[in-house]
């Protein structure tokens, strides 16, 4: 039986309403002047931008004092310890991977109830891209547990210089997987040693945001329609994973899992295509500099369905806050236009508000990437993670994640056939799902 790992964790009229919410965060005038003290504990990697947002919030709300306490490492462990001590902060960092465990373990509070108290909050949430907002919800535990700070959908990053040197056609939004493979073959130079070879592409093979779209794109899925069994052993899922693994095993246009290039293979010019979210632009701009030209495009369409992975992080309200309304006002400020502009101008985020689809805060940033429209077009194809009983783990953490990581690694590296590997994994998962419903 899969076990306990998951619990250990790891524009139009609407625009006017949002504008009203951007300053005081929707508080009633009589309450807005009452002094209040809050604690905000963000993740360390995002603390610099969050500090700017918090400072701006305090300037707009001088009656609110905020203790800013970033946690640089082991965030989940430390938040869990604070919960056990009854010392959770008011506003917390919540990633998509944390949503279900934080909700189930009563770390994150349901913000849907807090948003229902005023029209400006409701309007703000309606302006968020729906699939991003859904990442903050859990089917089995109704509520909203994360406010996403960015539109994070996977797109294709590609090395234009390598494409031109190889005489390969530059990616187009109409590309299929077959088109990608054709180009990747022209871009691959096999030296006999993976660490010194050049490849057409590389994937985050064991991330759900990669392998689940391959399953769904070929007509399969991770969970059956009734939610009672896994569908990873369905014909569509097997076809999808076989096609994904064939990039290494058959076409040899991607490096085996574990190949060490001494750094990011795309940044080093060792692979011509990678797939990531907007945030990857920050490191890519810094590492590549003027070494080669690069841009972004929609990821190629699968045979049965055009779909791409996604994932994000954001803020939430803790269950132990003594000022839930004030905490929610601070948390939701991170998704208002003033904050979204701060996040966007760093190249690290696309605004999560639909009303900011064409906002100059990110549209006017100098290239690369030049094809900025790709990031918002990709939102139409973003897919949500599959949902499993928490006792079985999730596609992010726990026993299910461990099982899928090992299974997919063995499949992609040619140690086991896709059908055999997925059927064996499905047996384990189905046993756990059955036990969870007894």
pLDDT in tens, 332-378: 999 999 999 999 999 999 999 999 999 999 999 999 999 999 999 99
Q: Are residues 282 and 231 in the same domain?
A: yes
DSSP class of 69: -
- The per-residue pLDDT for range 198-227, each reduced to its tens digit, is 999 999 999 999 999 999 999 999 999 999
Residue 75's φ and ψ, nearest 5 degrees, are: -55, -50
DSSP class of 97: G
Tokens of 334: 């991170």
Establish if 374 belongs to a structural domain: no
pLDDT band at 11 (very low <50, low <70, confident <90, very high): very low
Establish if 198 belongs to a structural domain: yes
The mean pLDDT value of the chain amounts to 92
Q: Are residues 58 and 117 in the same domain?
A: yes
- Enumerate the H helices of 188-298 as residue ranges: 208-217, 235-249, 280-288
Establish if 378 belongs to a structural domain: no
For 52, residues 6+ apart whose C-beta sits below 8 A from its C-beta are 342
Establish if 373 belongs to a structural domain: no
Rg (CA), the chain: 22
CA–CA distance, 6 with 138 (Å, rounded to integer): 15
**CATH at residue 104:** 3.40.190.10
**Nearest in space to 315 (alpha carbons), one of 299, 328, 303, 296:** 328
First-to-final CA distance of the chain:
13
Task: Determine contact, residues 314/94, Cβ cutoff 8 Å.
Answer: yes
CA–CA distance, 400 with 214 (Å, rounded to integer): 18
As to burial, measured by CB atoms within 10 angstroms (0-12 exposed, 13-18 middle, 19+ buried), residue 199 is buried
Residue 438: the pLDDT is 80
Establish if 44 belongs to a structural domain: yes
* pLDDT at 8 exceeding the cut of 70: no
More confident residue, 36 or 3: 36
pLDDT band at 78 (very low <50, low <70, confident <90, very high): very high
Q: Are residues 139 and 15 in the same domain?
A: yes
Mean pLDDT of 232-239: 98
- What is the extent of the structural domain holding 130? 5-152+311-365
* pLDDT at 77 exceeding the cut of 90: yes
pLDDT band at 281 (very low <50, low <70, confident <90, very high): very high
As to burial, measured by CB atoms within 10 angstroms (0-12 exposed, 13-18 middle, 19+ buried), residue 109 is buried
Task: Determine contact, residues 46/313, Cβ cutoff 8 Å.
Answer: yes
Residue 7: the pLDDT is 30
Mean pLDDT of 44-53: 96
Mean pLDDT of 131-151: 96
Q: Are residues 298 and 414 in the same domain?
A: yes
Q: Are residues 265 and 397 in the same domain?
A: yes
Residue 129: the pLDDT is 97
Q: Are residues 16 and 77 in the same domain?
A: yes
How many distinct structural domains can be found in the chain?
A: 2
Q: Are residues 268 and 403 in the same domain?
A: yes
Establish if 372 belongs to a structural domain: no
* pLDDT at 6 exceeding the cut of 60: no
Mean pLDDT of 401-427: 98
Sign, CA dihedral 382-120-323-142, equals: negative
CA–CA distance, 177 with 391 (Å, rounded to integer): 36
- The per-residue pLDDT for range 289-300, each reduced to its tens digit, is 999 999 999 999
Other C-beta atoms within 10 Å of 438: how many? 4
Residue 67: the pLDDT is 98
**Strands 64-68 vs 36-41: parallel, antiparallel or unpaired:** parallel
Q: Are residues 317 and 297 in the same domain?
A: no
- Enumerate the H helices of 106-159 as residue ranges: 111-115, 119-127, 130-134
Task: Tell me what percent of the residues of the chain surpass a pLDDT of 90.
Answer: 91
* pLDDT at 277 exceeding the cut of 60: yes
Residue 225: the pLDDT is 93
Q: Are residues 139 and 288 in the same domain?
A: no
pLDDT band at 28 (very low <50, low <70, confident <90, very high): very low
Mean pLDDT of 42-65: 96
For 263, residues 6+ apart whose C-beta sits below 8 A from its C-beta are none
Mean pLDDT of 82-106: 97
Q: Are residues 297 and 198 in the same domain?
A: yes
Q: Are residues 81 and 136 in the same domain?
A: yes
Residue 2: the pLDDT is 38
Residue 118: the pLDDT is 94
Mean pLDDT of 15-23: 31
Residue 414: the pLDDT is 97
Establish if 262 belongs to a structural domain: yes
- The per-residue pLDDT for range 370-403, each reduced to its tens digit, is 999 999 999 999 999 999 999 999 999 999 999 9
**Nearest in space to 258 (alpha carbons), one of 316, 194, 212:** 194
**Paired strand residues for 56:** none
Task: Map residue 261 onto helix, strand or coil.
Answer: coil
pLDDT band at 120 (very low <50, low <70, confident <90, very high): very high
For 33, residues 6+ apart whose C-beta sits below 8 A from its C-beta are 63
Q: Are residues 281 and 413 in the same domain?
A: yes
- Enumerate the H helices of 227-382 as residue ranges: 235-249, 280-288, 324-333, 337-344, 360-363, 373-377
Residue 140: the pLDDT is 87
* pLDDT at 27 exceeding the cut of 80: no
* pLDDT at 139 exceeding the cut of 90: no
Establish if 371 belongs to a structural domain: no
**Nearest in space to 233 (alpha carbons), one of 223, 246, 243:** 223
From residue 103, how far is each of 42, 309, 328 by CA, in Å?
18, 23, 16
pLDDT band at 32 (very low <50, low <70, confident <90, very high): low
């Amino acid at each position: 039986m899969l076990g306990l790992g998951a619990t250990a964790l790891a524009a139009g009229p609407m625009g006017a309403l949002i504008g009203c919410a951007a300053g005081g965060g929707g508080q009633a005038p009589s309450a807005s002047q009452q002094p209040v003290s809050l604690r905000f504990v963000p993740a360390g990697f995002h603390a610099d931008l969050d500090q700017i947002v918090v400072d701006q919030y305090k300037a707009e709300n001088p009656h609110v004092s905020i203790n800013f306490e970033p946690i640089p490492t082991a965030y989940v462990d430390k938040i869990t310890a604070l919960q056990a001590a009854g010392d959770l902060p008011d506003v917390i960092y919540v990633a998509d991977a944390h949503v279900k465990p934080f909700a189930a373990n009563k770390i994150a509070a349901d913000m849907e109830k807090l948003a229902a108290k005023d029209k400006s909050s409701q309007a703000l949430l309606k302006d968020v891209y729906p699939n991003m907002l859904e990442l903050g919800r859990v089917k089995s535990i109704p509520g909203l547990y994360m406010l996403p700070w960015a539109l994070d959908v996977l797109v294709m990053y590609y090395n234009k210089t390598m494409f031109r040197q190889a005489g390969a056609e530059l990616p187009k939004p109409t590309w299929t997987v077959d088109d990608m493979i054709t180009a990747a073959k022209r871009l691959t130079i096999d030296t006999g040693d993976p660490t010194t070879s050049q490849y057409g592409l590389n994937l985050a093979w064991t991330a759900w945001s990669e392998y689940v779209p391959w399953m769904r794109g070929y007509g399969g899925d991770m969970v059956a329609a009734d939610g009672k069994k896994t569908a990873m052993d369905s014909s569509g899922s097997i076809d999808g994973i076989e096609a994904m693994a064939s990039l290494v095993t058959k076409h040899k246009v991607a490096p085996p899992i574990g190949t060490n290039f001494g750094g990011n293979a795309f940044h080093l010019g060792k692979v011509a295509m990678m797939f990531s979210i907007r945030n990857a632009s920050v490191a890519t701009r810094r590492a590549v500099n003027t070494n080669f030209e690069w841009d972004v495009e929609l990821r190629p369409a699968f045979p049965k369905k055009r779909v791409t992975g996604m994932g994000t992080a954001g803020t939430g309200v803790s269950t132990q806050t003594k000022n839930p309304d004030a905490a929610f006002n601070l948390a939701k400020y991170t998704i208002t236009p003033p904050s979204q502009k701060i996040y966007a101008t760093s190249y690290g985020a696309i605004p999560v508000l639909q009303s900011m689809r064409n906002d100059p805060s990110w549209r006017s940033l100098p290239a690369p990437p030049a094809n900025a429209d790709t990031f918002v077009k990709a939102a139409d194809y973003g897919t949500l993670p599959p949902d499993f009983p928490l006792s079985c783990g999730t596609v992010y953490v726990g026993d299910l994640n461990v099982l899928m990581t090992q299974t997919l690694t063995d499949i992609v590296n040619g140690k086991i056939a896709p059908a055999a590997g997925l059927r064996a994994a499905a047996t384990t998962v189905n046993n756990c799902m059955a036990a969870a419903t007894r």
